Structure 1
Amino acid sequence: MFGQRTYDPAPGTHYRSERVSAVNGRYFFSTREGTLEGPYFTRVDAEREIASYIRRQRKAEEIIESRGF
Protein backbone atom coordinates (compact mmCIF):
# COMPACT_ATOMS: atom_id res chain seq x y z
CA MET A 1 0.00 0.00 0.00
CA PHE A 2 1.81 3.04 -1.23
CA GLY A 3 -1.15 5.37 -1.53
CA GLN A 4 -1.91 8.36 0.60
CA ARG A 5 -5.12 8.39 2.57
CA THR A 6 -7.45 11.30 1.85
CA TYR A 7 -7.09 12.69 5.37
CA ASP A 8 -3.27 12.44 5.53
CA PRO A 9 -1.92 15.99 5.84
CA ALA A 10 0.87 15.80 3.25
CA PRO A 11 3.10 13.36 1.44
CA GLY A 12 5.97 12.20 3.56
CA THR A 13 8.58 9.55 3.93
CA HIS A 14 7.25 6.41 5.55
CA TYR A 15 9.57 3.64 6.59
CA ARG A 16 8.28 0.11 6.20
CA SER A 17 8.57 -2.20 9.16
CA GLU A 18 7.26 -5.61 10.00
CA ARG A 19 3.62 -5.28 11.05
CA VAL A 20 3.43 -8.67 12.76
CA SER A 21 5.26 -9.23 16.01
CA ALA A 22 5.36 -12.06 18.53
CA VAL A 23 5.07 -11.53 22.27
CA ASN A 24 5.08 -14.50 24.64
CA GLY A 25 4.16 -16.90 21.83
CA ARG A 26 1.18 -14.83 20.64
CA TYR A 27 1.07 -12.72 17.49
CA PHE A 28 -0.02 -9.11 17.11
CA PHE A 29 -0.08 -6.61 14.27
CA SER A 30 0.36 -2.87 14.42
CA THR A 31 -1.75 -0.38 12.48
CA ARG A 32 -1.09 3.05 10.96
CA GLU A 33 -3.41 4.43 13.60
CA GLY A 34 -0.97 3.27 16.27
CA THR A 35 -2.99 0.38 17.69
CA LEU A 36 -1.74 -3.12 18.40
CA GLU A 37 -4.29 -5.74 17.37
CA GLY A 38 -4.33 -9.26 18.75
CA PRO A 39 -3.41 -11.64 20.21
CA TYR A 40 -3.59 -14.36 17.57
CA PHE A 41 -2.40 -17.93 17.96
CA THR A 42 -0.37 -18.06 14.75
CA ARG A 43 1.37 -15.64 12.40
CA VAL A 44 -0.96 -16.82 9.62
CA ASP A 45 -3.98 -15.84 11.76
CA ALA A 46 -2.50 -12.39 12.39
CA GLU A 47 -1.74 -11.85 8.69
CA ARG A 48 -5.27 -12.93 7.74
CA GLU A 49 -6.69 -10.49 10.26
CA ILE A 50 -4.63 -7.66 8.75
CA ALA A 51 -6.61 -8.12 5.54
CA SER A 52 -9.88 -8.14 7.50
CA TYR A 53 -8.86 -5.01 9.40
CA ILE A 54 -8.09 -3.17 6.15
CA ARG A 55 -11.47 -4.18 4.68
CA ARG A 56 -13.27 -2.91 7.81
CA GLN A 57 -11.38 0.40 7.74
CA ARG A 58 -12.17 0.95 4.06
CA LYS A 59 -15.84 0.11 4.61
CA ALA A 60 -15.99 2.56 7.53
CA GLU A 61 -14.45 5.28 5.35
CA GLU A 62 -17.04 4.58 2.62
CA ILE A 63 -19.89 4.87 5.12
CA ILE A 64 -18.54 8.12 6.55
CA GLU A 65 -18.05 9.62 3.10
CA SER A 66 -21.53 8.55 1.94
CA ARG A 67 -23.11 10.30 4.92
CA GLY A 68 -21.20 13.50 4.28
CA PHE A 69 -19.16 13.61 7.47
Structure 2
Amino acid sequence: RNVPHSFAKVGEGEGRLLMFFQPAGRMEEFFTKLSQGVAKNMTEAEQDKMREEHGFKRVGPPIKNFKKW
Protein backbone atom coordinates (compact mmCIF):
# COMPACT_ATOMS: atom_id res chain seq x y z
CA ARG A 1 0.00 0.00 0.00
CA ASN A 2 1.22 3.49 -0.93
CA VAL A 3 4.22 2.08 -2.83
CA PRO A 4 4.56 3.28 -6.46
CA HIS A 5 4.61 0.33 -8.85
CA SER A 6 3.78 -0.60 -12.42
CA PHE A 7 3.07 -3.56 -14.67
CA ALA A 8 2.86 -4.26 -18.39
CA LYS A 9 2.09 -7.18 -20.68
CA VAL A 10 5.22 -7.60 -22.77
CA GLY A 11 4.72 -11.01 -24.39
CA GLU A 12 2.70 -12.19 -27.34
CA GLY A 13 -0.78 -13.62 -27.02
CA GLU A 14 -3.43 -13.26 -24.37
CA GLY A 15 -2.49 -12.16 -20.88
CA ARG A 16 -4.24 -12.47 -17.55
CA LEU A 17 -4.15 -10.25 -14.50
CA LEU A 18 -5.74 -11.02 -11.17
CA MET A 19 -6.09 -8.11 -8.76
CA PHE A 20 -7.56 -7.86 -5.27
CA PHE A 21 -8.61 -4.68 -3.49
CA GLN A 22 -9.49 -4.93 0.17
CA PRO A 23 -11.29 -2.83 1.06
CA ALA A 24 -12.48 -2.23 -2.48
CA GLY A 25 -13.22 1.46 -1.97
CA ARG A 26 -14.03 3.04 -5.33
CA MET A 27 -12.03 0.57 -7.44
CA GLU A 28 -15.13 -1.38 -8.48
CA GLU A 29 -16.63 1.83 -9.88
CA PHE A 30 -13.33 2.62 -11.66
CA PHE A 31 -13.17 -0.77 -13.41
CA THR A 32 -16.87 -0.60 -14.30
CA LYS A 33 -16.24 2.74 -16.02
CA LEU A 34 -13.21 1.30 -17.85
CA SER A 35 -15.21 -1.70 -19.06
CA GLN A 36 -17.85 0.68 -20.44
CA GLY A 37 -15.20 2.56 -22.45
CA VAL A 38 -15.51 5.80 -20.46
CA ALA A 39 -11.77 6.54 -20.61
CA LYS A 40 -11.40 5.70 -24.31
CA ASN A 41 -11.92 9.26 -25.54
CA MET A 42 -10.43 11.08 -22.53
CA THR A 43 -7.29 13.16 -22.67
CA GLU A 44 -4.38 12.06 -20.46
CA ALA A 45 -5.25 14.89 -18.04
CA GLU A 46 -8.86 13.65 -17.83
CA GLN A 47 -7.64 10.08 -17.29
CA ASP A 48 -5.33 11.30 -14.50
CA LYS A 49 -8.25 13.12 -12.87
CA MET A 50 -10.38 9.97 -13.02
CA ARG A 51 -7.57 7.95 -11.43
CA GLU A 52 -7.18 10.46 -8.61
CA GLU A 53 -10.96 10.46 -8.03
CA HIS A 54 -10.63 6.71 -7.42
CA GLY A 55 -7.64 6.92 -5.09
CA PHE A 56 -4.56 6.41 -7.23
CA LYS A 57 -2.36 8.25 -9.72
CA ARG A 58 0.05 7.72 -12.58
CA VAL A 59 3.69 8.01 -11.52
CA GLY A 60 6.93 8.13 -13.46
CA PRO A 61 7.44 7.85 -17.21
CA PRO A 62 5.63 5.19 -19.26
CA ILE A 63 7.21 1.74 -19.49
CA LYS A 64 9.50 1.64 -22.54
CA ASN A 65 8.44 -0.49 -25.52
CA PHE A 66 4.90 -0.66 -24.15
CA LYS A 67 2.33 -1.27 -26.88
CA LYS A 68 -1.09 0.25 -26.31
CA TRP A 69 -3.91 -2.18 -27.00
Same fold at TM > 0.5: no
Structure-2-length-normalised TM-score: 0.27
Structure-1-length-normalised TM-score: 0.27
